[in-house]
Each structure stands twice: as structure tokens, then as C-alpha cells.
């Protein structure tokens, strides 16, 4: 699901270049439009994306995520298929309307993922299984950017790419309707022993609990998580929407090369996500570091690493194409360390309300991300001017780095009392964290 949803989201980053470039396709019958508002078209997805995430999280917690995901992905897939028609009949405004509907529907994806991971993953396997799920995001980007670039440059043209992705989305809906379940208790395909193993560590009471709004809003670990997620969403979406355009206008790569090279950073992100996810679980389970320390370390690698790469990129000359691509690969690839950082921290703090925490952070981060492509349009008046792009990259670098430092100071990996955990459970978590620190200190001293 994550692969398909993210593929649909990033699709437009390459497609909009082909939709406005007369030289993009080998077929002269493919329509081309003279649109000057490409960045606004790209940002229109987020207009809808911020609307229904809280609804998706709360109703998924109470009634299960499956029915809402099925409905959302059905409408989302239909909206993707309709983009060529909307472009033909209503121009760029029709495309923006379609993208906004897609965003509204995809607002169900990440809150549902957090709800499902909170119910389906044993605590000792959380980073590993989380990496398998969330790696779908870079994998969707890896596939989509070159595929859309290739189709757009062929005689099929950019419209076919929308029909293809819409059809794949509808296929997923059919498969999930048959084989998907909201909770282990509802699943008929696993044993009682496996259900007991999963449920022994999740301790989910979600349907029975009222939302502790005041406690959440006064929780320092939550606000550290919030800032970390918002900052990384800004940086990630800036790169996601603008890399193809930057490579086309500044680095002068053609349509096919653009798609392949734009996918390279996400290929690195995909493969490294497994490295970081498995490593994080390994060092936590072997008590080399506490869960809190692990979250801070991996989040710092992600945010500060990406920020440093973008800062270097901003000062490289246009002629340094190879090094520039390497910095883009580094900036995006190293973000996969966030799987061991903030991306699973919602479940650490609150297994019951993980979807709600995810939706609160993600909706605000996405709302601010509307400004990311708009900022590009305001700052980059000449798309071939590297010095104007420098401002964009430095801003993204700061959005990555500063919240990561805040998270390193105030973040936590301990389940919070307002989630419904009792005092004894919190004490046991703190004891476990203290033991991990002792093991870590002893390991260092013995070197």
C-alpha cells in the first residue's frame, strides 16, 4: 500500500515536466500545456492531504483501519485515472482538483500504518517490521520516477502513466479486501499462539480509552517528536517535488536520464532503511543502548546527515554534476535512519494513540509542506539559476538539522502514562532503559 500510495504522490513530479515540455514525448499527438504554475500543481496534493488525517486516525482506532483504507484507496485510484481528462477539460485547475482529492484520500495512509503497526508488531521487532513497511515509500519513488519518465518519453505519453497507476491502485484494493485485517484478533490465517505472541507486548486498549488531549498537548516528548517529524517532512517533500525539476533545469539532464537519476536517492533510501531498521532493533534488544538513546541516535543521523549533505550541495558549482548527484543521494538516502528515530516513536510513546499522534504531526508537517514548492516558485524566479536554488537547499538543511537537535535533548522512547499504562509498567521501562545504559557503558569501558 505504501509503495503504491507514494508512487501516486510522486508521479506528478516527473509527469508535470512531460506535460509542459513539447520535446518530452516521441508521439506528436500527446497533449502539451503551457502552464507556469507547476510548483502550485505539485503543492495541491497537500491541500487535501491535511484535511482528514485526524479523522482517519481516530475512526481507525475505534472501528479498525481496513474499511477506511479500502474506501480511500478506491477514490484515490479513480482520481489518478481522471487526471488526463481533467487536464484536457479544465486545464491546470482540473489537475489541481484531482491532486487535492488524491491528497484527501492519502491522508488515511500513514495514520492507518501507525495504527496497524501498533497492533501487529511485537515490541522486539518494531524497527525491523517498521522498516519493511515504511521502506515502501522510497521503493515507490524508485519505481515511479524512471517508469513515468520512460512512459512519458515513449509513444504512449504521459496520460498512459496515470491510467497505469490508477489501475494498480484498484488492484491493491481488491487484494486487501480479501486478505487484509485491522487486528490480529480478526485474522483467520494465523495461529492462536502467534496472536498471543503479538498481543502480549502491544497491550492495546484503544477502543476503551478517551483521547487524553490535554496530556498529549502538554507532553514534552510528544512535542520533540512533533518538531522532528515536521522538519523532516518539509525537507523530504522539498526534495521529492523539486529534484526532477532541478535536474532538468540546472543540471540539464534529459527526460529519461532525469527519471533514472531522480530515483537514485530513493534507491539508497530503500536499501539503507533495512540496514538502519535491523541495526536499531539489534542494539536495543541486546541492550547496547536504551530505546530512548537509539531513537535519538538514529534520528540525529537522519536529520543532521541530510542537512549537512544539502548544505554542501548548495555550494557546489553547476559543473560538479557527479558530486551534486552524490550529495542528493546522500541527503535522501540517509533519511532512512529516521525509521529507527522519529518514524516509530509514536508507537513507543503511545501504542493506543499512535495513529492519532502520527496524524497530528503529519497533518501539520504536510500543511507547512504546501509552502515548500510555493517557496520554490517565489524564490526561484529563474529555474536555471543555481544561486537561487541555494536558498531552497539551505532552508531545507535547517529544517532537517535544528529539530533533530531538539529531539536529541527532549525525545523519549518510554511509553507515556497518558496512554493508559500503569505506574508499574513505566517503572519497568525505566529500569530496562537504565540496564541498557549500564551495558552500553560497560561495553565502552571494555574496549
CB 162 within 8 A of CB 149: no
How many CB atoms are closer than 10 A to CB 30? 20
Using CA atoms, how far residue 384 sits from 312, 318, 435, in Å, is: 19, 10, 55
pLDDT digits (tens, 9 = 90+) for 379-419: 888 877 888 888 988 998 999 999 999 999 999 999 998 88
CA dihedral 93, 96, 98, 100 (to 10 degrees): -140
pLDDT digits (tens, 9 = 90+) for 320-362: 888 888 888 898 889 889 988 998 898 899 888 888 898 889 8
Q: Please compute the mean of the pLDDT values over residues 152-156 and round it to a whole number.
A: 85
Rg (CA), the chain: 22
Q: Please compute the mean of the pLDDT values over residues 304-329 and round it to a whole number.
A: 87
* pLDDT for residue 445 is more than 50: no
User: H or E element: which one contains 44?
Assistant: helix 38-49
Question: C-alpha 443: how far from its chain's center?
Answer: 35
Question: C-alpha 84: how far from its chain's center?
Answer: 26
In angstroms, rounded to a whole number, what is the distance separating the alpha carbons of residues 49 and 51? 6
Task: Give the model's confidence band at 217: pLDDT under 50 very low, under 70 low, under 90 confident, else very high.
Answer: very high
pLDDT for residue 443: 36
pLDDT for residue 186: 80
Task: Say which CATH topology domain 2-183+211-445 has.
Answer: Growth Hormone; Chain: A; (1.20.1250)
* pLDDT for residue 162 is more than 60: yes
User: H or E element: which one contains 99?
Assistant: helix 83-106
Better-predicted residue by pLDDT, 9 or 38: 9
Alpha helices in 286-341 (DSSP H): 291-314, 321-333
Using CA atoms, how far residue 212 sits from 215, 347, 352, 356, 419, in Å, is: 5, 16, 11, 11, 8
User: Which residues lie below 8 Å from residue 322, measured CB to CB, with a gap of 6+?
Assistant: none
Q: Nearest 5 degrees, angle CA 85-CA 42-CA 360?
A: 115
**What mean pLDDT value characterizes the chain?**
82
CB 107 within 8 A of CB 69: no
* pLDDT for residue 439 is more than 70: no
Task: Give the model's confidence band at 207: pLDDT under 50 very low, under 70 low, under 90 confident, else very high.
Answer: low
Q: Please compute the mean of the pLDDT values over residues 147-167 and round it to a whole number.
A: 89
pTM: 0.71
Task: Give the model's confidence band at 442: pLDDT under 50 very low, under 70 low, under 90 confident, else very high.
Answer: very low
Task: Give the model's confidence band at 441: pLDDT under 50 very low, under 70 low, under 90 confident, else very high.
Answer: very low
Amino acid at each position: 500500500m505504501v509503495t503504491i500510495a507514494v508512487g501516486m504522490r510522486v508521479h506528478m513530479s516527473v509527469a508535470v515536466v512531460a506535460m509542459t515540455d513539447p520535446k518530452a514525448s516521441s508521439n506528436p499527438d500527446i497533449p502539451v500545456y503551457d502552464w507556469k504554475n507547476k510548483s502550485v500543481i505539485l503543492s495541491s496534493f497537500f491541500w487535501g492531504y491535511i484535511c482528514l488525517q485526524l479523522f482517519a486516525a481516530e475512526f481507525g482506532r475505534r472501528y479498525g483501519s481496513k474499511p477506511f483504507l479500502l474506501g480511500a484507496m478506491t477514490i484515490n485510484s479513480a482520481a489518478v485515472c481522471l487526471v488526463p481528462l481533467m487536464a484536457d477539460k479544465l486545464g491546470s485547475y482540473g489537475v489541481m482538483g484531482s491532486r487535492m482529492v488524491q491528497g484527501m484520500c492519502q491522508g488515511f495512509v500513514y495514520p492507518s500504518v501507525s495504527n496497524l503497526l501498533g497492533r501487529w508488531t511485537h515490541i522486539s521487532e518494531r524497527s525491523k517490521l517498521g522498516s519493511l513497511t515504511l521502506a515502501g515509500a522510497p521503493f515507490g519513488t524508485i519505481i515511479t520516477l524512471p517508469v513515468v519518465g520512460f512512459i512519458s518519453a515513449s509513444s504512449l505519453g504521459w496520460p498512459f502513466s496515470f491510467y497505469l497507476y490508477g489501475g494498480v491502485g484498484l488492484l491493491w484494493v481488491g487484494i486487501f479486501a480479501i486478505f487484509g485485517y485491522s487486528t490480529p484478533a480478526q485474522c483467520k490465517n494465523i495461529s492462536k499462539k502467534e496472536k498471543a505472541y503479538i498481543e502480549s507486548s502491544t497491550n492495546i486498549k484503544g477502543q476503551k480509552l478517551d483521547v487524553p488531549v490535554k496530556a498529549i498537548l502538554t507532553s514534552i516528548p510528544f512535542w520533540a517528536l512533533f518538531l522532528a517529524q515536521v522538519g523532516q517532512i518539509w525537507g523530504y517533500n522539498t526534495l521529492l517535488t523539486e529534484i526532477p525539476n532541478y535536474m532538468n533545469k540546472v543540471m540539464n539532464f534529459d527526460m529519461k536520464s532525469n527519471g533514472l537519476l531522480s530515483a537514485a536517492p530513493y534507491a539508497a533510501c530503500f536499501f539503507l532503511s533495512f540496514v538502519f531498521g535491523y541495526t536499531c532493533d539489534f542494539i536495543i534488544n541486546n541492550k547496547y543502548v536504551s530505546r530512548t538513546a537509539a531513537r535519538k541516535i538514529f534520528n540525529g543521523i537522519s536529520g543532521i546527515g541530510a542537512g549537512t549533505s544539502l548544505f554542501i550541495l548548495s555550494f557546489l558549482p553547476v559543473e560538479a554534476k557527479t558530486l551534486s548527484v552524490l550529495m542528493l543521494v546522500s541527503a535522501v538516502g540517509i533519511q532512512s535512519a529516521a525509521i529507527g528515530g522519529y518514524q516509530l516513536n509514536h508507537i513507543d510513546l503511545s501504542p493506543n494513540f499512535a495513529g492519532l499522534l502520527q496524524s497530528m504531526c503529519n497533518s501539520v508537517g504536510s500543511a507547512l509542506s504546501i509552502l515548500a514548492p510555493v517557496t520554490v516558485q517565489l524564490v526561484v524566479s529563474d529555474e536555471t539559476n543555481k544561486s537561487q536554488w541555494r536558498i531552497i537547499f539551505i532552508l531545507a538543511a535547517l529544517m532537517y538539522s535544528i529539530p533533530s537537535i531538539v529531539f536529541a535533548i527532549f525525545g523519549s522512547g518510554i511509553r507515556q502514562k497518558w496512554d493508559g499504562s500503569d505506574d508499574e509498567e513505566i517503572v519497568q521501562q525505566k529500569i530496562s532503559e537504565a540496564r541498557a545504559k549500564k551495558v552500553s557503558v560497560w561495553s565502552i569501558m571494555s574496549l
